[in-house]
């Protein structure tokens, strides 16, 4: 199959692959720059990139902004001219500050989900930064594109549709996740029709990128043949040498056969997919105590939250994969080894090239 570059306005990635943003600390400058060097688009997560800064617990916002700018600068230096973006969760406190800081640092692309990024256009006003909402249905894309058109006379530069097999926070109700496995692909043509309305109005191409459960070159080809311009992948990039997470985090993916992958209740207000370790079992039993609240997530109520998601994610990325929260995609059980990013990207490229048109 012939591989067309992923074009987002004047941004061009040789391979139509975006590395999904993973936080806390799983996708920072190391992973993002490696993916960009290999021809894809690398995303830095804005979910507490300063977790390892010395003043993180006493100076939350400033330490995270400082770290975010540091990682963007470092990624840019190591990307060999490749495309670098951020993944920004709407549900996170100080969402606007993180986006503005990234724009100040000259970020190429903002991919935004875990809520509706209603005011994203105004946050990048006057810059060359491209914007992309993450949605999970044709209804979702209709709502956000109509809102941006009406309020800002602007449309998306890219749309990411994330399916129910994704890792981390999911844009589906818990009882809809598994029932959507078989129907998700039916949404793709409907989403393309919604996007077409704004492509014609604004006389521009708005690429659709599909995420959630994309694992092989064959998966990529399926969505390209359906009319998508590319895919977003996260799970496979965890098991790479350049992934910014602790080695124990990566090895947790190698150890699972998929039977221990489950849905968890997140303080973000969405279901999340993670490994069912000791921590998750204790949350299910109500045996987790919140000792300190960072006020990091807007929907979170310290009095009723099942656990502190920041602490849980930090423990995991630092290597404590039993008492931390290890987010993963539905296909984590298929991961067999840790490889360099370049090797993974070459493998996906060769698989894609070998598929008939």
E strand or H helix at 353: helix 341-353
105 forms beta bridges with: none
Cα torsion 345, 348, 350, 356: sign:
negative
Query: What integer pLDDT is reported at residue 179 of this predicted model?
Result: 65
- Find out whether 272 and 327 touch, Cβ atoms under 8 Å: yes
How far is Cα 306 from Cα 325, in angstroms, rounded to an integer?
13
Kindly report which listed range (148-152, 174-178, 267-271) carries the lowest average pLDDT score: 174-178
Query: What integer pLDDT is reported at residue 165 of this predicted model?
Result: 92
How far is Cα 292 from Cα 307, in angstroms, rounded to an integer?
10
Phi and psi (nearest 5°) for 281?
-60, -40
Residue 74 in 3-state DSSP? helix
Query: What integer pLDDT is reported at residue 143 of this predicted model?
Result: 97
Query: What integer pLDDT is reported at residue 293 of this predicted model?
Result: 67
- Find out whether 57 and 100 touch, Cβ atoms under 8 Å: no
* Average pLDDT over the chain, rounded to an integer: 94
């Amino acid at each position: 199959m012939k591989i067309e570059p992923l074009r987002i306005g004047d941004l061009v990635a040789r391979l139509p692959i975006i590395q999904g943003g993973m936080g806390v600390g799983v996708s920072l400058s190391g992973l993002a720059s490696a993916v960009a060097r290999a021809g894809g688009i690398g995303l830095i997560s804005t979910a507490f990139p300063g977790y390892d800064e010395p003043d993180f617990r006493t100076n939350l916002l400033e330490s995270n902004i400082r770290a975010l700018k540091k990682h963007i600068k470092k990624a840019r230096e190591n990307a060999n001219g490749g495309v670098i973006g951020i993944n920004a969760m709407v549900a996170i406190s100080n969402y606007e500050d993180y986006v503005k800081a990234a724009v100040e640092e000259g970020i190429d692309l903002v991919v935004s989900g875990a809520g509706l990024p209603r005011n994203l256009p105004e946050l990048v006003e006057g810059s060359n930064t491209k914007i992309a909402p993450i949605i999970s249905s044709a209804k979702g894309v209709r709502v956000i594109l109509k809102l941006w058109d009406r309020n800002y006379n602007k449309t998306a530069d890219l749309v990411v549709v994330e399916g129910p097999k994704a890792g981390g926070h999911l844009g589906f109700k818990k009882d809809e996740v598994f029932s959507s496995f078989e129907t998700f692909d039916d949404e793709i043509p409907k989403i393309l029709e919604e996007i077409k309305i704004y492509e014609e109005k604004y006389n521009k191409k708005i690429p659709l990128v599909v995420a959630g459960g994309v694992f092989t070159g064959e998966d990529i080809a399926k969505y390209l043949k359906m009319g998508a311009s590319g895919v977003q992948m996260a799970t496979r990039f965890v098991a790479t040498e350049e992934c910014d997470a602790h080695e124990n985090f990566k090895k947790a993916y190698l150890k699972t056969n998929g039977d221990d992958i489950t849905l968890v209740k997140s303080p973000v207000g969405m279901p999340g997919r993670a490994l069912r370790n000791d921590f998750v079992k204790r949350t299910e039993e109500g045996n987790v105590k919140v000792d300190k609240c960072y006020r990091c997530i807007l929907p979170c109520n310290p009095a009723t939250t099942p656990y502190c998601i920041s602490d849980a994610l930090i423990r995991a990325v630092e290597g404590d994969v039993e008492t931390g929260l290890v987010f993963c995609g539905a296909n984590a059980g298929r991961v067999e080894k840790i490889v360099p990013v370049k090797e993974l990207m070459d493998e996906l490229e060769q698989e894609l090239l070998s598929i008939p048109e």
